[in-house]
Each structure stands twice: as C-alpha cells, then as structure tokens.
Structure 1
Amino acid sequence: MKKLVLFLAMVTLFFTTTSIADAHPGRLDSNGGHNCSDKSKAKGLCTGYHYHNGNSGGGSSSGGQSNYTQPTTAIQAPALTKVAVYLNNVKQSYTPSAYMKNGTTLVPMKPIFEALGATVSYDSATKKVTATKDSKKIVIGVGNKTAYVDANGTTSTINLSHPAEVYQGTTMVPLRFVSQALGAEVTFDEAKLTVYITTK
C-alpha cells in the first residue's frame, strides 16, 4: 500500500512539473517575461505575453503574471494656421504669432489694441479684457462669445464667431472684431493668409 501511495505521489509530481515546464518554455526577455507557446495556450496554461516570479516590469502583477502594456505615444496638438498681419501696410510682428482658428484670426491682445490707439487692461479675476479709445469702450471675456461695445453711452452686444482665448500664456483676441470696433477697415487675402488693417 505504501508503495502504491508513493508511486501515485511521484506520478502526480511528474505531471505537475511537466505542465509547469510546458507553460513556460524558452528564455525570458529583458522585461522578465515571454510569449506563451501554442502548446501552453491550447492547454489553457497562459495567454499572450506574461511575466514570471512576480516580475511585472513595471506593470501590475497577479499570480506572478501580468499583461505587458506598451507605453502610449503623446498625441500632438494640431498645428495652427499662421496668418500675416499688416497695419497701414506695415507688417506686424507678434509673439505668439497671429493664427486662424475656426475661420477667425486671433492676435495678441496688447499689441493690437495699442497699435490701434487704445489703452487696454485685463482683469484676471473676471478674465475680461477692457479697451478704451476716445469715447469708446470694448469689453471681451476670455472664452465668451459675447462682447460689448460702449460708444457715447450706448452699449451694443456683439456675438463673436470665436471667443478670446489664452494661448502660450497670452490673451488672444479676434482681430476683425477688435479692428472694426475701433473704426479700422479689415480685408483678408485668403490665398496669401494675410490680413490688412487700415485705420481711418
């Protein structure tokens, strides 16, 4: 009887060792894992790439195995369409450059208002830009498509096609609206991606 029990124990140990060997044939790679063999997959012993001895190569570990995940690549932001701006036939130089977004040309707030003869201020608490020239006042809110123009005590509400926004730490405002609100004429050469502003 003792011989029979001993024989059965040895047979069980032999098959267990064989199964483990079949599940993990071949050498481990630098991550401490390898791909399952077709034989092991067929037996249901493992699937795909896995690790051994709890070495997860930085991934999560369950029972000494884990799935290997390739690092994700950063998604690049879409390139903005740069636009050249001329004021009274003089090319303007902005930092950051003027660009077109959803059909609207945006330019840095301070240079455009000052070039058009307005004084400008920005309230960081309310995120509102206020520009004043003579008896005219313009108020634009960052992220808000509604702007206000106060001329001689009469306030008009203007719906913008694109709101002011912050880009590279600079408040960018819609060029056409700003220029026309301050009495300038604006033409856009689509083929050359160039805006021409003429003051009166």
Structure 2
Amino acid sequence: MKKTILAVLSLFLVLLMMAPSLAGAHPGRTDANGGHTCRTNCAKWGLKTGEYHYHNGGGSSSKSPSSPTSSSPPPAKKPAPAPKKPEYVKTDVYINGTKQNFQQSAYIKDGTTLVPMRPIFEALGASVQWDNRAKKVTGTKDKRKITLSVGNKKGYITENGVTGSVDLTHPAEITNGATMVPLRFISESLGANVKWDSASKSVKITK
C-alpha cells in the first residue's frame, strides 16, 4: 500500500514539473527550427493568428526566421552624355582682295570664325611674338600692343600707356602650331575692316 502511495506521489510530482512546458505546447507540426505559425485556436494558447512561435520554451515571433528578406537593387546609373563635337567648317580668307594660303586654314568652331593670328597680323603690318612658356602671343603695330593668352576669353590692347580689355566670343587656341583667334578680334585690335561672306563662307579683310 505504501509503495502504491509513493508511486502516485512520484507521478504527481513529475506532472507538476512538466506543467509549464505542456501549457505552452499545442497540436501542430513544427518546422526545422522547432516552431510554426499559429493558424487555429490561437487565443486558446495565448497567441495571435499568424504569430510564429516555438515549442518547448523557444519563444515566439510574428515573422518566420526562414522567410527570406527582400531588398531592392540600387538604381542603375545613367551613362554620362557624350560631349558634343565642335563644328569645323573650312573658311577662305582674303586680305585686300587677295586670297591667302595659310598653313593652317581658318575655320568655324561653335559658331565663331577662328583665323590664324600671325600671318594676318603680319600681312597687315604688325609684328608677332610668341611666348611658349606662358602660352601668350603679342602683336605690335606702331604704338599699339595686342596681347592674347591661349584659353583666355579676354584680349588686351595697350595704347599710349593705357590698357583695355576685349571680350572674345571664343578663347584663343593652338591648332597645328598656329594661334587661332576670333575673326572679330582682328578688326577690334588693328582697326581693319572685316566682312563675312556667308554665301561663300569666306572672310574679307581690308586695311
């Protein structure tokens, strides 16, 4: 009789020890992580519908650990637009009615007619000096000095000790060893008469 009572007491103690784990368990298949998502009778077990939870005290979570996380790829960068190529149109130059044959012909670039400075200045009676280190060209006629720097959109004219600046529509540039300057600068610096013939795309300079 005593043995029976002891056996019943032992079983009762075991059930008391298992009670917490049994309270947290309910029917349903578990996944590889030892848990699953509650679908039915969730309130009975103190859970919400769709709540993911673990059995045997593993805790609960509203998201399944095995569900993949999605992330949008970064937007692709648009390629930079290709730089616009300048328009080159060969142009003939006439000085006092005579067509010139320059080593580097005049041309139109970005809407500006560029002409070789040295041969035109020399044909109009001016001397020209080139400073290779400073990339600067200087023309002199009588008491007037004209200075240009490659890449600079300003020209400078000095006369009787007074220096003034001239805005250029295009900076001076070097092409095939020739310093090319805007056509209008020829008339502004040396006082020559410059005329553009759009029909023949030619320049006529008279002095």
TM-score (norm 2): 0.56
One-letter identity of the residue aligned with 1:198: T
Any conservation in 1 of the 2:150–2:171 contact (CA below 8 Å)?
yes
Structure-1 residue corresponding to 2:92: 84
Any conservation in 1 of the 2:87–2:109 contact (CA below 8 Å)?
no
Unmatched segments (≥5 aa) in structure 1: 1-76
1:30-84, CA deviations, whole angstroms, 9 ceiling, x for partnerless residues? xxxxxxxxxxxxxxxxxxxxxxxxxxxxxxxxxxxxxxxxxxxxxxx76610111
Give distance in 2, aligned partners of 1:80 and 1:120.
26
Inter-CA distance 79–174: structure 2 relative to 1 (3 Å threshold)? closer
Inter-CA distance 79–100: structure 2 relative to 1 (3 Å threshold)? closer
1:69-128, CA deviations, whole angstroms, 9 ceiling, x for partnerless residues? xxxxxxxx7661011111111111111111011222212222111011100001111111
TM-score (norm 1): 0.58
SS at match of 1:95: coil
Give distance in 1, aligned partners of 2:177 and 2:145.
24
Structure-1 residue corresponding to 2:76: none
CA RMSD of aligned residues (A): 1.7
Structure-2 residue corresponding to 1:120: 128
Do structure 1's residue 142 and structure 2's residue 150 form an aligned pair? Answer: yes
Structure-1 residue corresponding to 2:108: 100
One-letter identity of the residue aligned with 1:96: Q
SS at match of 2:120: helix
One-letter identity of the residue aligned with 1:90: T
Give distance in 1, aligned partners of 2:202 and 2:88.
14
Give distance in 2, aligned partners of 1:145 and 1:78.
17
Pairs aligned (count): 124
Structure-1 residue corresponding to 2:200: 192
Any conservation in 2 of the 1:116–1:179 contact (CA below 8 Å)?
no
For the pair shown, which has the larger CA radius of gyration, 1 or 2? 2
Give distance in 1, aligned partners of 2:117 and 2:86.
23
Shift of 1:178: 2.1
Any conservation in 2 of the 1:106–1:173 contact (CA below 8 Å)?
yes
Structure-1 residue corresponding to 2:176: 168
Do structure 1's residue 178 and structure 2's residue 155 form an aligned pair? Answer: no
SS at match of 1:181: helix
Shift of 1:175: 2.4
Q: Percent identity?
A: 55
Unmatched segments (≥5 aa) in structure 2: 1-84
Inter-CA distance 182–78: structure 2 relative to 1 (3 Å threshold)? closer
Any conservation in 2 of the 1:84–1:92 contact (CA below 8 Å)?
yes
Any conservation in 1 of the 2:197–2:203 contact (CA below 8 Å)?
yes
